[in-house]
Amino acid sequence: MSKVRKIIKVLAKKASGLGRKAKLAEMKKGLMALDLVRMQSAGIIFPPLVSKEDIDAVDVLLDRASVRR
C-alpha cells in the first residue's frame, strides 16, 4: 500500500495546478505511461519496479475519485 501512496503522490505532483477533472485525466495519462514502462521493462529489469497490482489499485482509486463529486 505504501507504493500506491507514492505513485499517487508523484502523479498528483506532476498534475498540480489543474482543475479537479483535468488533474484526474492527467493522472490517468501518467498511470498509463507508467504501466507501459512496466510492461516494456518486464523482461529487462527483474523484479519490476511497480507491480501490476499496485497500478490496478491506483486505477481503482482514480476511478472512485472521478465519480465522487
**For residue 67, pLDDT beyond 90:** no
With contact defined as beta carbons under 8 Å apart, do 12 and 27 qualify? yes
With contact defined as beta carbons under 8 Å apart, do 50 and 38 qualify? yes
End-to-end CA distance of the chain: 25
Percent of the chain at pLDDT exceeding 90: 22
List, for residues 4-26, the tens digit of each pLDDT value.
999 889 999 988 888 888 999 99
- Reported confidence tier of residue 40, pLDDT bands at 50, 70, 90: confident
With contact defined as beta carbons under 8 Å apart, do 60 and 33 qualify? no
**For residue 45, pLDDT beyond 80:** no
